[in-house]
Amino acid sequence: MGNWGAKVSQKGYDVKTCADRFLTFSSAFPTLKVFSTQAVSTTIPTSGTNTITITHNLGYFAPYLVVYNGSSTTGVGTSNLMSDNDSYLTTYQYANNLQIPVDEYFDQYSSSQGDTVYFTVYIFLDKLESYTSNIISTATASGGSSNNYGFKISKAGYDVKTCTDEQLVMSSSFYSALIQKKGLLTGSSVSHGLNYVPSILVYEYDSANSRIQTNNLSLQNLHYVTSSSLYYDSSVGTGDGIYYIIFKNTS
Are residues 31 and 6 in contact, defined by beta-carbon separation less than 8 angstroms?
no
Candidate list 55, 146, 159, 166; residue touching another protein; CB under 8 A: 166
Kindly report the CA angle at 227 between 223 and 248, in degrees rounded to 5?
A: 90
Q: Does 2 bind another protein (CB under 8 A)?
A: no
Please identify, using beta-carbon distances, which residue of 48 and 188 lies nearer to another protein: 188
Does residue 33 touch another protein according to CB under 8 A?
yes
Candidates 96, 153, 188, 195: give the one binding another protein (CB under 8 A). 153
Assess 176 for contact with another protein (CB under 8 A): yes
Asked if residue 156 binds another protein (CB under 8 A), the reply is: yes
Nearer to another protein, 86 or 104 (CB): 86
Q: Which residues pair with 183 in a beta bridge?
A: 244
In 3-state terms, what secondary structure has residue 244? strand
Give least dist CB 211 to another protein, A. Answer: 19
Cβ-based nearer residue to another protein, 77 or 187: 77
- Residue 174 lies near another protein (rule: CB under 8 A): yes
User: Residues 198-237: x/- map of binding to another protein (CB under 8 A)?
Assistant: -xxxx-------------x--xxx-xxxxx---x------
In this structure, how many other beta carbons lie within 10 angstroms of the beta carbon of residue 63?
A: 25
Question: CA–CA separation, 7 vs 136, rounded Å?
Answer: 12
Distance CA 210, CA 92 (A): 10
Q: Does 77 bind another protein (CB under 8 A)?
A: yes
Nearer to another protein, 149 or 174 (CB): 174
What is the maximal distance between C-alpha atoms in the chain?
62
The DSSP element (H or E) to which 132 belongs, if any, is strand 131-132
DSSP state of 10: P
* Beta carbons of 100 and 52 less than 8 angstroms apart: yes
Count of CB atoms situated within 10 Å of the CB of 164: 8
What residues make contact with another protein under the rule CB under 8 A?
1, 6, 25-35, 37-39, 65, 67, 69, 76-83, 85-88, 118, 120, 122, 125-127, 153, 155-157, 165-166, 168-171, 174-177, 197, 199-202, 216, 219-221, 223-227, 231, 249-251
